[in-house]
Structure 1
Amino acid sequence: MAARKATLRDVAAAAGVSTAAASFALRGKEGVSPETRARVLEVARELSYEVNLPARSLRTSRYGAIGLHLPEGASRATYYTEFAFGVVDAAEERGLSVILLPHLDAGQHPIAFVDGFIVVDATASDPGVRAMLADGRPVVSGEHVESAERAVTASVVSDHDAAMHRLLDHLAAQGAARIGVLLPPETTAWGRQVASAYAAWSASHGRDPVAVRIGFVPTVAEVEAAADAVLSDPVVDALVVVPSGSAAPALSAALRAGRVVGEDLLLAAYVDEPVHTLLSPAVTAFDLNAREFGGECLRLLVEALAGDAGGSGPVIRMTVPSLVVRESSTRRARP
């Protein structure tokens, strides 16, 4: 196996300086002392550090910064926090900055001092996203941009159709006969794909769908009310909660309904979160690899800015979510 190449972060850590200071020193820019510059250069030689040419191109001929656009309410969802950290980590390794963009109203223009944009779970109905797509700078999306898939430069997407089928097959194999779901709005490609996969699986297995839609980042009360509605059907013996942050409220609803999760009710979330391992029982979910997902978006944007993306249409890279099976979806015998 080839040895991992040293990154800018490695050089900075070994020299005892920030990545920004290391970048300044390696580029011969003002802002660091001669002693610091000499130390960084010496460490770079020792580590056989090679300058990332695409990133160097950004820093010298452009702004050296990218704009990150997250959905409204993203600060309440762990997935988007992890995604953002993945973007920032990958950018820092390349000596680039990340600017979190505000949401724009119709007629406003995206911030000027960035070289390109990363969006996630975006829709062209968002004025800010529309402005970015029309701006001319590269746009890389995490998941397809609903209603504008061909307008982006590149996308990193998950195979949600295969993932949803796998989860439903798992629940059926555990004996679930009637599976209800709490679905997000179909305003994003992700929400539409998950809903379509659930409908297709239900039809192919001869089962009537039991679905209630809730917000993209729902409130606790909203999740509990929707779960109450689904669990009012005594035949429902499994529940999948798709929007982030829904598992704990769904567990509360099951308790109020007199259900025992893991016995007469199976429960699974679609988006895994650290809290799922702390709940009782621990909740089955998909690891969407949010940090790596965000990092891959940044790498695609750097390639696009360097002119290495290739092809006439959008570049698409597919990832496969990993199903993490826990106690909530494993049928236990009644005592």
Structure 2
Amino acid sequence: MTRGATIRDVAKRAGVSVSTASLALNGKPGVSAETRARVLRAALELDYHPHTAAKNLADGRTRTIGLIAPISLEHLFSSASFFMKLFRGLHHIAQRKGYVLSLYIAESDDEAALQIKSLVRSRAVDGLVITNPTFTSPYLEEIRRYRVPFVVIGRPVGKASFVDNDNQAVGWMATRHLIEHGHKRIAFISGPDRFTFCQDRLLGYRKALEEAGVPYSGELVWRSEIVEEDACRVVKENFPKIRFTALLAATDVQAVGAIRALKEMGIKVPRDISVVCVNESELARHFMPSLTTVDLHERELGRRAMELLIQMIEDGVVREKGIYVEASLIIRESCGCNYGKGGGNEKEQGASQKKSGKG
């Protein structure tokens, strides 16, 4: 079996030291353009691939970060806008810092645990970003055991570094907007209880009702998978027997499914039912009616998560730090604020501004 080229082979071919070759290959400063070109040419001639030969790098790193998304493919594709913006933020910082981002999809927490175990035991990655934490998240203990730097996007259960929105504030903000327009019978389509963000948004919904003196009713809280068809089914099942004047959906995809169900039953949005959701997307902007929604600023979530992770990798310190990115409410047609006023105009309010009662 032929031995693969090492960084020492590249350095020898280019006539430089191993440390200079490493700097050139990883896009670091301190190397002239001429030397960098010579090193890259040598690497190409020797068919050297630094991201698959971490043991040969001067610093022992792979320059690779694993992105674990423990969700179904159906969930991933139905929420494509959310993940696209999130991945862009992650990729932008990783690329700028000289790292490669590798995506791993897991259909369940157990599958994610197996993937993570394989990655950390083989030292195939320098660190991990994990999305969509659940209340079980069995893989977290495995990562801690190997002391691999990792950041969770979403609120994890237990101690871990994470970047998230305050999802209780998100649920509160959306519900409060409907209450301010006179609604008291507000249905809430939550996502699966296994996700921490779904539970947190439900808590925010309940808090807004309580503060306004509106009784909480369990019959108004429904759950669906985060796919359009399931949300449509849930609304069709509940609408004939439960009275409500407004609806809050935990995601834009669920809002679309809900509105579709209402339309099929002859109910018009926002004339008959007001709708607010979470997640700003092309879908929210261009759906008819356009959706009033809470913008989570997913690209910023990704940027902050990657910055935190790379700092841990390069400092050699595993931290437990939580960072919150502020969300904002974007007012469009579906809530009724713009209904009959020409529609289409957008108005944005930040979470802190909304909570303080300003603006």
Shorter-chain TM-score category? 0.7 to 0.9
Matches within 5 A, 1:1-335: 23=27, 33-34=37-38, 60-73=59-72, 74-77=76-79, 78-103=81-106, 104=111, 109-111=117-119, 112-123=123-134, 125-145=136-156, 147-148=157-158, 150=159, 152=160, 154-204=161-211, 205-209=213-217, 210-215=220-225, 217-218=226-227, 220-233=228-241, 235-307=243-315, 314-331=320-337, 332=339
Counterpart secondary structure, 2:130: strand
1:209-261 C-alpha deviation (Å, 9 max, x unpaired) = 3111111x32x321111122343256311111113522222111111222221
Which structure is larger by alpha-carbon Rg, 1 or 2?
2
Task: Tell me if structure 1 keeps the 8 A contact 2:65–2:125.
Answer: yes
TM-superposed CA distance for 1:59, in Å, is 8.2
Structure-2 change in CA distance of 1:211 and 1:35 (3 Å):
closer
How far apart, in 2, do the equivalents of 1:225 and 1:304 lie? 45
Q: Which residue of 2 aligns with 1:42?
A: none
Task: Tell me if structure 2 keeps the 8 A contact 1:214–1:226.
Answer: yes
More divergent stretch after superposition (118-127 vs 80-89): 118-127
Task: Tell me if structure 2 keeps the 8 A contact 1:143–1:157.
Answer: yes
TM-superposed CA distance for 1:67, in Å, is 0.9
Query: Structure 2-normalised TM-score?
Result: 0.71
1:47-74 C-alpha deviation (Å, 9 max, x unpaired) = xxxxxxxxxxx98442211111113132
Q: Which amino acid aligns with 1:67?
A: G
Task: Tell me if structure 2 keeps the 8 A contact 1:309–1:315.
Answer: no
Counterpart secondary structure, 1:85: helix
Task: Tell me if structure 1 keeps the 8 A contact 2:250–2:278.
Answer: yes
Q: Which amino acid aligns with 2:283?
A: V
TM-superposed CA distance for 1:296, in Å, is 0.6
Q: Percent identity?
A: 19
Task: Tell me if structure 2 keeps the 8 A contact 1:123–1:187.
Answer: yes
Q: Which residue of 2 aligns with 1:3?
A: none
Q: Which amino acid aligns with 2:90?
A: V
1:171-226 C-alpha deviation (Å, 9 max, x unpaired) = 112222210011012212211111122223333423233111111x32x3211111
Aligned residue pairs total: 287
Stretches of structure 2 lacking an aligned partner (at least 5 in a row):
1-23, 42-56, 342-359
How far apart, in 2, do the equivalents of 1:168 and 1:243 lie? 14
Task: Tell me if structure 2 keeps the 8 A contact 1:24–1:32.
Answer: no
Structure-2 change in CA distance of 1:317 and 1:308 (3 Å):
farther
Q: Which residue of 2 aligns with 1:12?
A: none
Query: Structure 1-normalised TM-score?
Result: 0.76
Task: Tell me if structure 2 keeps the 8 A contact 1:184–1:214.
Answer: yes
More divergent stretch after superposition (154-163 vs 128-137): 128-137
Structure-2 change in CA distance of 1:259 and 1:124 (3 Å):
closer
Counterpart secondary structure, 1:99: strand
Structure-2 change in CA distance of 1:303 and 1:59 (3 Å):
farther
Q: Which amino acid aligns with 1:141?
A: V
Q: Which amino acid aligns with 1:63?
A: T
Counterpart secondary structure, 2:164: strand
Task: Tell me if structure 1 keeps the 8 A contact 2:280–2:293.
Answer: yes
More divergent stretch after superposition (203-212 vs 271-280): 203-212
How far apart, in 2, do the equivalents of 1:94 and 1:157 lie? 22
